[in-house]
Amino acid sequence: FLVNKGNHRHFMEKEIHEQPEVISHTLAHYLDFTSGKARPESVSVDFSKIDRLAISACGTAFYAASIGKYWFEQIARMPVDIDIASEFRYREMPLSKDSLALFVSQSGETADTLASLRYCKSQGLKIAAIVNVKESTIARESDVVFPTLAGPEIGVASTKAFTCQLSVLASLAIKAGRDRGTIDEKEEQRLIRHLSVAPRFANEVLRLSPQIEAVCRELMLVKHALYLGRGTSFPLAMEGALKLKEISYIHAEGYAAGELKHGPIALIDETMPVIVIAPYDKLYEKTVSNMQEVAARGGRIILITDAKGAAHANVKTLDTIVLPDVPEIIAPLIYALPIQMLAYYTAVFMGTDVDQPRNLAKSVTVE
Ligand code: G6P
């Protein structure tokens, strides 16, 4: 069907704004909100029969999968190996037949991801894939396909496919937790109730665009930026850095907040913006102390947090983006939005070709 930009300047902006709707569709495919249970017909894998997960993916899909690893480990107590597909395919990692190989790809055509899939198949593993394009090669060659219902994604920098991948990964982790007996029915219902409110919070966050746009007038002036996060906010920090470099061509790095002192702190001065992703959760105090190390060296902090986090930050920031107070499991989905918007508005101000950034392709079918 016809895909157009509607009232938006770019496909990327349109796709950012579609997120409440496509997250809602995707979650509803996997989860029954009435009974508070994962739908067995949509998650047709019995995780009690699987020892570990071997995940591989590229780019944004890799960062989604990296967040998924935290969920599988915490909720289902399931060991997860995760790799960038271009490494996985040559790493000769020992694979057990009781592992499930899981591939995450928007296009379903990425050459390195496909090669990793074929390698796992040759080793006799069962193959599952989270894909957005149902007719793709990766979907065809998988034993089990978990679709993301994001609709066509046109902007080269992935946005809505990412949050839909997160929606699927969270749903699978809940099903895995039930299959493996690491969560009970009540906990399953609680987590599903928490996921069900994600679209509403995503909508609320979209309304912060004027504030985010304003801080991008500062961000567009810099040469380098650092993103910090802990726990599931760590892969999100890497995704934030990737988004910024992809479309604004500003050099950015994402780091685990605790790694700051092992290198990147040497880069901090008054010219260095540091984007800190820190919902007020059990790791918040740790991240705050890293943020204070940045502040003490004159780094300019853009803090993305919630009201409690803002109240406890105790540090001067260039800007604090205050998101709604959201349940822990949906934080990565909700915090992804300001991260995408920061990159988007910065690129728009810089006048780059947002939907078709130089040197990049939507789908990389060569090695
Ligand atoms: C390219 C795109 C990225 C994407 C990556 C993986 O680099 O520009 O946006 O994340 O490929 O693509 P896939 O289709 O496998 O998710």
What is the rounded distance in angstroms from the CA atom of residue 15 to the CA atom of residue 241?
19
Among protein residues, the one whose CA lies closest to atom 2 of ligand 1: 362
For ligand 1, the distance from its centroid to the CA atom of residue 61, given in whole angstroms, is 7
Predicted pLDDT of residue 2: 58
Among protein residues, the one whose CA lies closest to atom 3 of ligand 1: 59
Residue 246 Cα: closest atom of ligand 1: 8
Helix, strand, or coil (residue 323)? strand
DSSP alpha helices (H): ranges in the chain? 11-17, 19-30, 59-76, 85-91, 111-122, 137-140, 160-179, 185-196, 198-206, 209-219, 233-248, 284-296, 307-312, 331-350
Angle formed at CA 199 by CA 327 and CA 74, multiple of 5 degrees: 35
- pLDDT confidence tier of residue 310, bands split at 50, 70 and 90: very high
What is the rounded distance in angstroms from the CA atom of residue 31 to the CA atom of residue 189?
10
Helix, strand, or coil (residue 264)? helix
DSSP assignment string, 198-238:
HHHHHHHHHTTHHHHHHHHHHHTT-SEEEEEE-TTHHHHHH
Among protein residues, the one whose CA lies closest to atom 15 of ligand 1: 105
Residue 161 Cα: closest atom of ligand 1: 16
For ligand 1, the distance from its centroid to the CA atom of residue 366, given in whole angstroms, is 12
Given a cut of 60, whether residue 332 has pLDDT beyond it is yes
Summarize pLDDT for 34-57 with one digit per residue, the tens: 999 999 999 999 999 999 999 999
ipTM score: 0.95
For ligand 1, the distance from its centroid to the CA atom of residue 259, given in whole angstroms, is 27
Q: Is 340 in the pocket of ligand 1 (CB under 6 A)?
A: no
Predicted pLDDT of residue 367: 79
- pLDDT confidence tier of residue 361, bands split at 50, 70 and 90: confident
Summarize pLDDT for 179-202 with one digit per residue, the tens: 999 999 999 999 999 999 999 999
Given a cut of 60, whether residue 269 has pLDDT beyond it is yes
Summarize pLDDT for 1-12 with one digit per residue, the tens: 558 898 999 999
Side-chain half-sphere CA neighbours of 232 within 13 A: 26
Query: Mean pLDDT of all residues in the chain?
Result: 95
Predicted pLDDT of residue 90: 87
Is 362 considered catalytic here? yes
Summarize pLDDT for 56-105 with one digit per residue, the tens: 999 999 999 999 999 999 999 999 999 999 999 888 888 888 999 999 99
